[in-house]
Structure 1
Amino acid sequence: MSHANAFLSPRGRLALARLVVADGWSLRRAAERFQCSPSTTKKWADRYRAAGEAGMVDRSSRPHSCPHQTPTRTERRIIGLRFTRRWGPHRIAYHLHLARSTVEAVLRRYKMPKLVHLDQATGLPVRREPARRYEHDKPGDLVHVDIKKLGRIPDGGGHRRIGRQIGRRNRSAMGYAYLHHAVDDHSRLAYSEILCDERKETAAGFWNRANTFFAAHQITVTRVLTDNGSCYRSKDFAAALGGIVHKRTRPYRPQTNGKVERFNRTLAAEWAYAQTYTSEAARAATYQQWIHHYNHHRPHTGIGGKSPIGRVGVHNVPGNYT
């Protein structure tokens, strides 16, 4: 489709065709005037003779017939299996000995809803609740605190390097690393450490250091959100919080602590499993470097493409966060 202001827009084509048909210009002379080829000039002149001004618009390039299109009988079998069995493209393709892309194209053409949008019991479309998102107005209004257990990597590598069977056996002997996180709700600024356990003394000490980190960035924490783990219900953690309000998530509702859960997913994809590490020490040595990248350089779509440290600067004095 041509641009509205192009030289050979429908209005320009009409002027070109009229030069040939009405004014008697030769094809070559009209082509030179409009800086196009004689064959293009002939095309628009012929369309003008056949259809008049209406022939100057673009026509669809879709072919009148497609000999390689999936037969109607096969399409009906695909739609039938989707209705009666509620199978996905993989299983339908395997059952009918077709390519998965063929099945997906047929389902798209017939505007079939995805299985995730259907009730599994009745097969009818369901209306799901839209995701309810929230964000506090300024840094420090709420800090999400959580612990992520991560299987340690044995010397020589885990199952990603030396095979699943050996890697699993080695992993069971290595135990877990405990990643303690504190993520600011508004800016997504994160403070995190790899520690050896999740006891109350460890959690309390971590919060003291995290609070110092936020204070160094001119962030005064007024409220902390945690799950209902025993370390967060202890007197040690309460003493570490001091006058900070302590909120807890609803049981079995991890999405309540969604900011730190999303941080865990990013951490797993971009650091923990992003490359093959030969040992736990090798992976741990890169952690604070990755945290720096996360805070200072990585853009976040949830905060308009800014980095966390950049969003902190909107509310605090710039120039203190290099």
Structure 2
Amino acid sequence: MGNRQFTQQQKLSILKAAEEVGVKESARVAGGHYVAVYEWRRQLDSLGEEAFLAKEVQRPGRGLKEVTAEQEQAIMLVWSQNSGYGPGQVRGQLRRQGTTISLRTIRKVMQANGYQAKSGGKEKPDVQRFEASRPLELAQMDILELYVNKAKIYLLVLLDDYSRFILGFRLVEQTSVDEVIALVQEAVSRYGKIEELLTDRGFVFYSWRGINRFEKYLEHEGIDHTHARPHHPQTLGKVEALNKRIKLELFNQQQFSSLEQAFSGLAEWVEHYNTKRPHQGIGGFLVPAERFHGRAEAVLAQIAQHCDVTLGGPGIERSIVNLVLGADGRITLYVLGQPLEIQGVSHVANVEP
């Protein structure tokens, strides 16, 4: 439609024609773009015919901003390759590829092609937000119940709070303290020392009588253990949101015949989530691995220069060293999760692991 201006009566005529020949065909005959016609249809449904016709066109003579074929193709390609993305994530991925398209345009193109935003549901109470200040300062851990071929299984997932990077996961037929300890130990061995772990009060994480073996393990490893408040799942909001996305995008979409097949599918999903998928919770342009491995500033600088940061190049090296400042003022250097205490140092300013 470009900058062509239509009267409300002309818009209504195009909409009525669309009922007969379809939106895209009516837009083509009128010499415009179908995205605008879908927008008019939403306005008509919301206002009713009388109010729609009486509606004054904003900024006369300017018309609707054109959606170019190149923009539409770019939007639809990213969305088709990542069906779980919303408009914000599509925008973020396009920016990572060096293409800038407004969120409004992306949303309209997606809505015109069947995208429906999730309902907000009941109004949620205000929740105090928090975020760790560096990688491995805080991790969240949770258990999700799933079904594979009608058999109940459990997903254990460990998430870095600062970067939203998935540090590890397990699919098991039965939850146990051994599995939980093994997951944490694998993450520490691979990425470095976790300073604090946040969980709920499930029986594998917490004992109402004394402390259980998992709590003893964390105490021995020098990992602070924090519990979410009872009946307050928002405390574990980041890992809870991750669980919902895994269930919605993977287990509700694919049928797995075995635990091994489900594990393979989940491993592929996690790899994409960590290294390919822009995360709205960390600004919308970065993927979790970039923030976790300290590449955020460099990647954002490339994006600002309209570089395609999704192309190949050197892989992200895993973190093997981190520093932890204990409550007693001692600094411990961890190499692949193994402690090497720095003697004689009681305070260090501006230390970043």
Normalised by the shorter chain, which TM-score bucket?
0.5 to 0.7
Q: Does the aligned pair in 2 maintain the 1:181–1:192 contact within 8 Å?
A: yes
Q: Distance in 1 between matches of 2:214 and 2:242?
A: 22
C-alpha distance 270-213 of structure 1, shift in aligned 2 (>3 A): farther
Q: 2:11 and 2:215 mapped to 1: Cα distance?
A: 74
Partner of 1:199: 176
* Correspondence for 2:191: 214
In 2: Cα distance, 1:268 partner to 1:283 partner: 12
- Partners of 1:208 and 1:240 within 8 A in 2: no
Which residue is equivalent to 1:307?
287
1:50-89 CA-to-partner distances (Å, cap 9, x unmatched) read: xxxxxxxx9983349979x9xxxxxxxxxxxxxxxxxxxx
Amino acid at match of 2:277: R
For 2:281 and 2:204, the matched residues in 1 are separated by 30
Cα distance in 2 for partners of 1:270, 1:59 equals 41
Return closer, same or farther for 1:65/1:150 CA change in 2, 3 Å cut-off: closer
Structure 1 residue matching 2:294: 3-state secondary structure = helix
Measured after TM superposition, the shift of residue 141 of structure 1 is 1.5
Contact 1:150-1:177 at 8 Å conserved across structures: yes
- Length-normalised TM-score, structure 1: 0.52
Residue 135 of structure 1: aligned partner: 131
Counterpart of 1:80 in structure 2 is: none
| Inter-CA distance 128–214: structure 2 relative to 1 (3 Å threshold) | same
Q: Following superposition of structure 1 onto structure 2, how do residues 141-160 of structure 1 map, counting pairs within 5 Å?
A: 141-153=137-149
Distance 1:268 1:117 in 2: 19
Kindly tell me: are residues 103 and 145 of structure 1, through their superposed partners in 2, closer, same or farther at Cα, counting changes over 3 Å? same
User: Do the aligned partners of residues 196 and 106 (structure 1) sit closer, same or farther apart at CA in structure 2, a change above 3 Å counting?
Assistant: same
Please state which structure has a larger fraction of its residues in strand. 2
* Higher relative helix content: 1
TM-score normalised by structure 2 residue count:
0.48
Map 1:16-35 → 2, pairs under 5 A: none
* SS of the residue 2:146 aligns to: strand
Structure of higher CA gyration radius = 1
| Larger RCO: 1 or 2 (CA < 8 Å, sep 6+) | 2
Q: 1:315 to 1:201 in 2, by over 3 A?
A: same
Work out the number of aligned pairs and report it. 202
Change (3 A) 1:117 1:276: closer
* 2:253 match: secondary structure: coil
- 2:161 pairs with one of 167, 185, 202: 185
Say if 1:228 and 1:249, in contact at 8 Å, map to a contact too. yes
- Show the 5 A alignment for 1:144-293: 144-153=140-149, 171=150, 174=151, 176-190=152-166, 191-215=168-192, 220-233=193-206, 234-241=211-218, 242-293=221-272
Structure 1: segments with no counterpart, 5+ residues: 4-57, 70-99, 119-126, 154-170
Is the CA contact 1:296–1:308 (under 8 Å) kept in the aligned structure 2? yes
Question: What does 1:71-82 align with in structure 2 at a 5 Å threshold?
Answer: none
